Amino acid sequence: MARPYNFSAGPATMPEAVLQQAAAEMLDWHGTGMGVMEMSHRSTSFAAIAEQAEHDLRTLLAIPEHFKVLFSQGGALAHNAIVPMNLAGRRPERTMDFVVTGSWSQKSAQEAARYGAARIVANTADTGFTTLPDPASWRLSPDASYVHLCSNETIHGVEFHTLPDLAALGSDAPLVIDFSSHVLSRPVDWSRVGLAYGGAQKNIGPAGLTLIVVREDLLGHALPICPSVFDYRALAEAGSMLNTPPTYAIYIAGLTFQWLLAQREGNLSGVAAIEARNVAKAQRLYEAIDGSSLYINRVDPACRSRMNIPFFLRGDDGQPLRDPAHPRNAAFLRGAQARGLVQLKGHKSLGGMRASLYNAMPMAGVEALVDYMRDFERQG
Amino acid sequence: MARPYNFSAGPATMPEAVLQQAAAEMLDWHGTGMGVMEMSHRSTSFAAIAEQAEHDLRTLLAIPEHFKVLFSQGGALAHNAIVPMNLAGRRPERTMDFVVTGSWSQKSAQEAARYGAARIVANTADTGFTTLPDPASWRLSPDASYVHLCSNETIHGVEFHTLPDLAALGSDAPLVIDFSSHVLSRPVDWSRVGLAYGGAQKNIGPAGLTLIVVREDLLGHALPICPSVFDYRALAEAGSMLNTPPTYAIYIAGLTFQWLLAQREGNLSGVAAIEARNVAKAQRLYEAIDGSSLYINRVDPACRSRMNIPFFLRGDDGQPLRDPAHPRNAAFLRGAQARGLVQLKGHKSLGGMRASLYNAMPMAGVEALVDYMRDFERQG
C-alpha cells in the first residue's frame, strides 16, 4: 500500500529516511557484520552510537553543560512517579506544586501524591482545559521541592509557547516539564528549566525510550524507596548504563537526531528549521478549521498546540459531535481512511478528531488533510 | 564483514531470519504502508501483533490459563524493585526469602531490602558461587511473602536444572524466579512458580522489553509507593497497555517466538527442540574445556549453565588468569576476534572468558569456538 499520512498521537509517523537507514543496517551496522539490536551495550560500537546520540541531542536542543542527559525507560507515566522519587526529597516537607492544564499534568499530580504533598497551584479544568492559566495567578508554595507542568498537552491540545520564569514569580523552586509530545519541535529555554522528561514515541520515534534532561544540582535527593535503576544521580554517573538500556531505541533516536540536524528551511537548520515548518503546518490546519463552519477547535488561540490539534465536526445544531460513532464522524473517518489519512480519531476522553503534526509529518500531509476536510464539508 | 559468532551475554546474537524479516517489514508491515514503529499501540494492527506474541509465548512455554503474561519495561534490575513493590505486601511482615547464588540474586536481595525484610536463606558465596545450595538446607521463613531465586546466573554460570518444590519443603510462599538469561531455552515447571520475570535482551532479542509471567492470585498487593504503571494487577487488567508499551520490542519478540515455534530437532519442535540443541551445544563446549589442560570452568557439573559458560585460561602456574589484560588472555581474545568469534571477554567482576550460547547461537558457532580453543592451546 502507498504510505499513508499517519496523524497518530504516538507512536507516530517517522521520517522515511530514518526507517530506510534502519532497514539497510538491520543485519550489518557499519561493517561489523552485526545488527545494532545484537550488540552488547558495553561494546565499543554501541558506546559510539549512544555517545553520538547524546552529542547530537545536546546540539539540537542547545543543552548546557551543567545538565545531564539520561536515557531511561518506562515512559512519561512511569517518570510521573520517578521524578518525585528523585526530587520530592529536596526539602523535608516534600511539597510539589502542580499546574494542571489537561489530562497529562493531572495524571502527574495524582501520581506524585504517592510521594509527598502534591499541591494544585493552578487548574484550568473549568475551561475544559482550553486555556492556560496566567503564571501571575499561580499560588506557588514557598517551600516547594519543584513546580511541575506539562508543556504540551497531547490530548487537550494546549501548549506553553513561553515557559514561566519562576524566579520572577518569587519562587526558587526548579521547574519540571513533561515535554513528551513536543520535544525537539522547538527550542527549550533551559534558563527556566530544572528537569525535562518525555517519552520518545511521539517526536523522536521508538516507544520504550524515555529522555530526561536534568540540571546537575538537582541530583542526589532520591528517596530510599526509589528503585536503584531509576535514581537519576546513579543513572547519570553510569552514563545511562546502570543496566542494559533500550539499545535499539537509542539507535533509532540517534538516526532521528541526525535527520533533524540535516533539516533546512531558508537560512534555518536543525530545530529552528523544523520549528518554522511546524508553525506553518499548524497555522495551515488551524486556519482551515477556523475558516470553516463545519469544524471547530475550542482552544484559546494564544495557547494552541502546534503538535496536537483536537477538533470536532459540528452537528446540525451547531454543537460539537463528540461521539466517534456518530454517523457524521464515522463518515469523516471512513473518507479520510480512503484517502490515506489515518489515525484521526480523537482521544476517547475527548471524542471528536485529533490531528498530530509531529516533526516527521510533512506539509504535504497537512495539505492533504485540509483538502479532504474542505471536500467533506462541501459534500455535506 | 562476514557475520561473526557473537558470544555476548546480552544484548546478544539473534536469528538472522528474524532480522531479515524485520528489515523487510521496516517501512510496510503487512501492506499497511506503515512500519511497526510508527503504529499507535491502540491500532488494530499493533493489537494483533501483541496478541499473537502473547499467544505464541504461551504456546512455547505452556503457560497455564491462571497466569498473566505482562510486557513491561526497565529490565530485570528495575523489576528487582518492582517485584517486592508488588508482592512484599502479601503479608504484613513484608518478609522475603532470597537464595543467593551469584551476582544477580545478590542484587535482587539488596534491592528488595528497600521494601521489606529481605532474608538470605541460602548463600553460596563461600564456594565463589560455583555450586547451588541443597533446598533441604534453606532456612525458609514461615511468614515469607515470597521466595526468590535467579534460575540462571548470567555472570557465574550456574543454573537450576530443577526448580525447588517449596510446598514439599514446608513453605506455602510462592516462588519468584529471575529467568532473564535462560527464558525459552527450556520448559518451565509452572506448578512450582508463582512469578517469573526477565529482560528480553538475552534469549528473546530486543533490550527494553521485560517479561513478567505471574499467577493471578498474587496480583493486587502492590504497596502504595508502587508507580501505577508498575502495578502488575493494573498492568494485567490493561493488557500491558496502561501506557505506551515498547511496541517495536514486542514485535521483534513476536518474530523470535515464531522462529522458535518453527524449530525442529528430530521429533521435537519449539522449546523442546531448542532445548535439545542447547544441551548439545553446552556439552560440546564443557567437554572441550574439561578435556584441555589450558582451560578451566570451576562450576559444579551438577549446576553448570547451558547458556552462560565462564572459563579461564591457566597461567604457567596452573592457576586461572583473571586479568583480561594478561598477555595470554589478550592473545586469546585477539585470535578469537580474527576468526570472527567476538564478545568472549568475561564479566569484569569475574575476569577470564565467558561464552554465552543462547538459542540463536548455532552449533556451528560452538564448533568454531572449540576449534579455535584447541588451536590456541596447541600453539601455546
Beta bridge mates, A354: A310
Asked if the model's pLDDT at residue A213 lies above 80, the reply is: yes
Q: Under an 8 A CB cutoff, do A229 and B81 touch? A: yes
CATH code for the structural domain at A266-379: 3.90.1150.10
Supply the pLDDT for residue A202: 96
Query: How many beta-carbon pairs under 8 angstroms link A with B?
Result: 225
The catalytic site residues of B sit at 104, 178, 202
| Cα–Cα dist A256/A247, whole Å | 14
Q: Under an 8 A CB cutoff, do B73 and A78 touch? A: yes
Supply the pLDDT for residue A47: 97
Q: Under an 8 A CB cutoff, do B245 and A205 touch? A: no
Q: Under an 8 A CB cutoff, do B229 and A75 touch? A: yes
Q: Give the nearest partner residue to A244 out of B39, B207, B242, using CB atoms.
A: B207
Mention every residue, 6+ apart, whose C-beta is less than 8 A from residue A363.
A277, A280, A281, A284
| Cα–Cα dist B93/B101, whole Å | 25
The confidence band for A312, taking pLDDT boundaries of 50, 70 and 90, is: very high
State whether CATH 3.30.450.70 applies to domain B17-261.
Answer: no
Residue A315's alpha-carbon distances to A198, A292, A293, A372, B371, in angstroms, are 36, 14, 11, 18, 76
| DSSP assignment letter at B47 | H
Determine the residue of chain A that is closest to B224 in CA distance: A114
Fold of A16-260: Aspartate Aminotransferase; domain 2 (3.40.640)
Asked if the model's pLDDT at residue B1 lies above 80, the reply is: no
A224: which chain B residues are within 8 Å (Cβ-Cβ)?
A: 114
**What residue has cell string 502507498?**
A2
Determine the residue of chain B that is closest to A242 in CA distance: B77
Asked if the model's pLDDT at residue B234 lies above 70, the reply is: yes
By percentage, how much of chain A surpasses pLDDT 70? 99
Best mutation target, B34, B104, B111, to test chain A (most A CBs within 10 A): B34
Q: Give the nearest partner residue to B38 out of A12, A38, A77, using CB atoms.
A: A12
Asked if the model's pLDDT at residue B164 lies above 80, the reply is: yes
Residues of chain A with CATH 3.90.1150.10: 266-379
By percentage, how much of chain B surpasses pLDDT 90? 99
Q: Domain spanning B267-379: which superfamily?
A: Aspartate Aminotransferase, domain 1 (3.90.1150.10)
* pLDDT tens for each residue of A92-122: 999 999 999 999 999 999 999 999 999 999 9
Q: Under an 8 A CB cutoff, do A26 and B10 touch? A: no
Determine the residue of chain A that is closest to B78 in CA distance: A229
Determine the residue of chain A that is closest to B25 in CA distance: A23
A267-A272-A273 Cα angle (round to 5): 60
| DSSP assignment letter at B267 | T
Q: How far is A84 from chain B (nearest CA, A)?
A: 11
The catalytic site residues of A sit at 104, 178, 202
Amino acid letter for position B1: M
* pLDDT tens for each residue of A266-300: 999 999 999 999 999 999 999 999 999 999 999 99
Q: Give the nearest partner residue to B207 out of A16, A80, A245, using CB atoms.
A: A245
Q: Give the nearest partner residue to B23 out of A23, A244, A245, using CB atoms.
A: A23
B22: which chain A residues are within 8 Å (Cβ-Cβ)?
A: 26
Mean pLDDT of chain B: 97
Q: Given the cut 0.95, state whether the ipTM is greater than it.
A: yes
A104-A186-A73 Cα angle (round to 5): 50
The confidence band for A2, taking pLDDT boundaries of 50, 70 and 90, is: confident
Residues of chain A with CATH 3.40.640.10: 16-260
Asked if the model's pLDDT at residue B380 lies above 80, the reply is: no
* pLDDT tens for each residue of A328-342: 999 999 999 999 999
Asked if the model's pLDDT at residue A205 lies above 90, the reply is: no
Supply the pLDDT for residue A362: 98
Instruction: Give the length of chain B.
Output: 380
Asked if the model's pLDDT at residue A174 lies above 80, the reply is: yes
By percentage, how much of chain B surpasses pLDDT 70? 99
Q: Under an 8 A CB cutoff, do A208 and B242 touch? A: no
Question: Where does residue B269 rank: exposed (0-12), middle (13-18), buried (19+ CB within 10 A)?
Answer: middle
Supply the pLDDT for residue A1: 66
* pLDDT tens for each residue of B267-315: 999 999 999 999 999 999 999 999 999 999 999 999 999 999 999 999 9
| Cα–Cα dist A13/A362, whole Å | 10
The confidence band for A380, taking pLDDT boundaries of 50, 70 and 90, is: low
